[in-house]
Amino acid sequence: MNPLFVTFALYIFVIFSIGYFAVRRNKTLSDYVLGGRTLSGPIAALGAGASDMSSWLLLALPGAFLLHGINQIWLPIGLAMGAYLNWQWVAKRLRVYTEIAGDSLTVPSYFHNRFQDHSRILKTLTALVVLIFFTFYASASFVSIGLLFHTMFNLSYTHAVLLGGAIILIYTIVGGFLAISWIDFFQGSLVFIALLTVPLVTLHALHGVHPALDLIAIQGTHFLDAFSGISFLGVLSLLAWGLGYFGQPHIIVRFMAAKNHRVIPQAQFICMTWMIVSLFGAAFTGFFAIAYFAKMPLSDPETAFLYLAHDLFNPWIAGVLLAAVLSANMSTTSAQLLSSSSAITEDLYHSFAHRQASQKELVFIGRLGVLIVAGVAFYLAMNPENSILNLVAHAWAGLGASFGPVILISLFWPRMTRNGAFAGMLVGALTVIVWPLIPELKAVYELLPGFIFASIAVFIISLAGKSPSAQVSEQFNAVRALL
């Protein structure tokens, strides 16, 4: 009996059991895409954290530290700062605003209702941006699940991607948002334990901090220097990852789904504790892996966590730790697929093609949308040479620059207009697409200029046009009064 297979089978049984109980709650589109706004603080917290990090946290981040050393520390620092400010500035306001503004179920619907956009041009652009960048994001998740099953079970890469993707698709299509949220609580807890355990056991195997640092120094003293081989713009680019949080629909939808705005402070504390421990646990997993794999270098640095779990733990415990990788992957991919499905269903099909559709029909179209987006993401993931970090970086930048400034400014500035939002979104998306194509600009992560240029566009175009209508201003004042 293979302990890895047994552990994975038990894990799959647990998540499908949760999905089975959740599916009975899906009676309306609101239930399917937002869980009926019933999430408690802890569920919203770990849902936001788990859907955020994906297997990027256990594969790509340790791989970056293994490859480059401690100079990558600016990345988790930037992410922690961005997540904190997202909870602090966006969570409570967005929860209130999306309920007051036409009971908005999705980010595109929020923009539509916030600016009273009767032309639906803003809603359409938002949905298209979601679909484009989430498809790249989902493909990164399928690449990582392919690496996991290929490395651990000796499956071909193609079969590994298809098997892992099928598992994700089934429970996303059947369970919807509520199943994902409950499962994310379970999966987030598993990831937390894994990233506490693996770096500590690795350090123990290396006989402590000082022997580990000595071994790392032998590989190169640059691994121990936070500023080695990285410019000021490089540090700024890594810190700028934190700006992406303001515009990630699969994360901020957890704010919208909280039972009320009063649970947000509790959720913030839980999520930030989880996130800081998980981020720096992943960072030190990769850092100590430099010493552990000094005599037997890995061909793919992004498999460091997988091999540490396999080498250092009893097969049964290793199975649980490797299930954490699958957990992180499933949490994010399912959230991305559901957000894409929501864009297709609520923001395109319901708004344009069939406004009189029944709730049953909308849930069906939502499930069909998951299949369509997943099919394209599967195609993109079929190249095993794809870097998880590069795919995630581009998708994160695209969503962060397109939506981040628009969401942030819309919550605090009453003078913002629909045309300002449209301009900011368009400028942010185009900057992220064009910036990496210019070799001289590649030293700066495209999210930073995209966020800056989008913010400028929002202010200039808003001030150049007419003031918002009285109805839009009254809605803004109602939100401010309630808060």
The arithmetic mean of pLDDT across residues 339-361, rounded, is 68
pLDDT in tens, 78-89: 999 999 999 999
Alpha carbon distance 58, 285 (integer Å): 9
Higher pLDDT, 399 or 369: 399
The arithmetic mean of pLDDT across residues 36-59, rounded, is 75
Instruction: Kindly indicate the confidence band of residue 67, based on its pLDDT and cuts at 50, 70 and 90.
Output: very high
Exposure pattern of 245-261 as b/e (b: 16+ CB <10 Å)? bbbbbbbbbbbbbbbeb
| Cα 464 off chain centre by | 35
Higher pLDDT, 82 or 351: 82
Alpha carbon distance 61, 305 (integer Å): 10
pLDDT in tens, 241-252: 999 999 998 788
The tokens of 198 are what? 């693996």
Q: Is the pLDDT of residue 45 over 60?
A: yes
Alpha carbon distance 125, 404 (integer Å): 15
Q: What pLDDT does 197 receive?
A: 94
Q: Is the pLDDT of residue 177 over 80?
A: no
Higher pLDDT, 431 or 23: 431
Q: Is the pLDDT of residue 188 over 90?
A: no
Q: Is the pLDDT of residue 272 over 80?
A: yes
Q: What pLDDT does 413 receive?
A: 96
Q: Is the pLDDT of residue 233 over 80?
A: yes
> What is the dihedral sign for C-alpha 400, 402, 403, 406?
positive
Instruction: Kindly indicate the confidence band of residue 146, based on its pLDDT and cuts at 50, 70 and 90.
Output: confident
Alpha carbon distance 449, 428 (integer Å): 8
Q: What pLDDT does 48 receive?
A: 76
In this structure, which CATH number among 1.20.1260.10, 3.40.50.300, 1.10.3720.10, 1.20.1730.10 belongs to the domain 36-388? 1.20.1730.10
Q: What pLDDT does 466 receive?
A: 93
Instruction: Kindly indicate the confidence band of residue 354, based on its pLDDT and cuts at 50, 70 and 90.
Output: low
DSSP letter at 353 equals: I
Q: What pLDDT does 351 receive?
A: 63
Q: Is the pLDDT of residue 33 over 60?
A: no
Q: What pLDDT does 181 receive?
A: 67
Question: What percentage of the chain exceeds 90 in pLDDT?
Answer: 43
Lowest-confidence region among 60-69, 220-229, 346-355, 397-406: 346-355
| Cα 409 off chain centre by | 21
CB-based burial of residue 213 (10 Å sphere; 0-12 exposed, 13-18 middle, 19+ buried)? middle
Q: Is the pLDDT of residue 319 over 60?
A: yes
Alpha carbon distance 134, 126 (integer Å): 12
The arithmetic mean of pLDDT across residues 5-34, rounded, is 66
The arithmetic mean of pLDDT across residues 172-179, rounded, is 60
pTM of the model: 0.85
The arithmetic mean of pLDDT across residues 460-466, rounded, is 96
- To the nearest whole number, what is the mean pLDDT of the chain? 85
Instruction: Kindly indicate the confidence band of residue 296, based on its pLDDT and cuts at 50, 70 and 90.
Output: confident
Q: What pLDDT does 28 receive?
A: 53
| Cα 438 off chain centre by | 27
CB-based burial of residue 452 (10 Å sphere; 0-12 exposed, 13-18 middle, 19+ buried)? middle
Residues 6 or more apart from 319 whose CB is under 8 A from it? 3, 4, 6, 7, 8
Where in the chain are the domains? 36-388
Q: Is the pLDDT of residue 344 over 90?
A: no
Instruction: Kindly indicate the confidence band of residue 179, based on its pLDDT and cuts at 50, 70 and 90.
Output: low
Q: What pLDDT does 268 receive?
A: 94
Q: What pLDDT does 38 receive?
A: 66
Q: What pLDDT does 465 receive?
A: 92
Instruction: With CA atoms as reference, report the closest residue to 341 among 371, 378, 380, 314.
Output: 371
The arithmetic mean of pLDDT across residues 260-279, rounded, is 92
Lowest-confidence region among 15-24, 134-143, 213-222, 456-465: 15-24
Query: Cα separations (Å) of 339 from 134, 215, 347, 406, 432?
Result: 8, 45, 11, 18, 21
Instruction: Kindly indicate the confidence band of residue 115, based on its pLDDT and cuts at 50, 70 and 90.
Output: very high
Q: Is the pLDDT of residue 365 over 90?
A: no
